[in-house]
């Protein structure tokens, strides 16, 4: 499919780029998208949750009452989980939530996500640009020219650009990444995908 290339004023440059159908025009696989997104979110979890069991609670180890003759159940420790302030039974322990996912499944998921954006006309191709110095006002003006408004937008650069990143980090709903950092979660989260022209070649050569 062909998409017109826009400049930072939001006007067509008269040029068009062709998006490779093997990357932007496949039949989307919803399950692959689910698995890749699930893995990404699982990897963000710290897994540092911890509850103390009865052996880790601070307290006396003396037998709190005699074994027989009280009319109640026997109890040998104030740290018993049945008592208030005692240890917790089967409480959360530190763990790693990540899991393995095959590279081909991850690749299929990203292609599927890109194809969804292409089929719904939510991809904008922007000619290569740069910002001389970090200026949020200048970046906001570019967003207004592209009619991004309050939509969640993902801007994909071919490589790191410090000035563009610093100009965008205070703008709500906008995220700037390089083509190498692009993942399924970020693509699906964004309402509009803004591809800088030279980033398209990086994406298509990657896949």
Let me know whether 110 and 198 are in one domain.
Answer: yes
pLDDT digits (tens, 9 = 90+) for 61-113: 899 999 999 999 999 999 999 999 999 999 999 999 999 999 999 999 999 99
Q: Which domain holds residue 111?
A: 2-45+101-206
> How confident is residue 29, by pLDDT bands cut at 50, 70 and 90?
very high
Give the total number of structural domains in the chain: 2
Let me know whether 158 and 125 are in one domain.
Answer: yes
Q: What is the CA angle 88-94-97, rounded to 5?
A: 125
Let me know whether 198 and 107 are in one domain.
Answer: yes
Best CA proximity match to 103, nearest among 19, 39, 176, 179: 39
Let me know whether 139 and 113 are in one domain.
Answer: yes
pLDDT digits (tens, 9 = 90+) for 113-166: 999 999 998 898 988 888 888 989 998 898 888 888 778 999 999 888 899 999
Give me the residue label for tokens 């719904």: 120
Let me know whether 52 and 67 are in one domain.
Answer: yes
Let me know whether 109 and 201 are in one domain.
Answer: yes
Q: What is the pLDDT of residue 82?
A: 92
Q: State the CB neighbour count (10 A cutoff) for residue 203.
A: 21
Let me know whether 155 and 61 are in one domain.
Answer: no
User: What is each CA distance from 158 to 4, 80, 190, 191, 204, in whole angstroms?
Assistant: 18, 60, 18, 20, 12
Helix, strand, or coil here: 120? coil
Q: What is the CATH number of the domain that holds 128?
A: 3.40.1370.10
Let me know whether 118 and 137 are in one domain.
Answer: yes
């Amino acid at each position: 499919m062909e998409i017109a290339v826009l400049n930072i004023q939001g006007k067509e440059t008269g040029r068009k780029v062709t998006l490779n159908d093997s990357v932007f025009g496949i039949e989307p696989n919803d399950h692959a998208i689910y698995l890749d997104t699930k893995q990404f979110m699982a990897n963000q979890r710290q897994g540092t949750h911890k509850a103390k069991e009865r052996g880790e609670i601070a307290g006396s180890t003396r037998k709190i009452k005699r074994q027989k003759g009280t009319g109640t159940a026997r109890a040998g420790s104030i740290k018993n989980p049945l008592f208030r302030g005692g240890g917790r039974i089967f409480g959360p322990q530190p763990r790693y939530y990540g899991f393995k996912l095959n590279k081909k499944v991850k690749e299929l998921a990203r292609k599927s996500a890109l194809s969804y954006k292409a089929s719904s006309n939510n991809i904008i191709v922007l000619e290569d640009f740069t910002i001389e110095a970090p200026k949020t006002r200048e970046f906001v003006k570019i967003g207004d020219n592209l009619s991004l408004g309050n939509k969640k937008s993902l801007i994909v650069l071919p490589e790191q650009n410090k000035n563009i990143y610093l100009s965008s980090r205070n703008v709500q709903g906008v995220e700037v990444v390089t083509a190498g950092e692009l993942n399924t979660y970020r693509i699906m989260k964004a309402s509009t995908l803004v591809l800088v022209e030279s980033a398209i070649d990086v994406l298509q050569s990657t896949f």
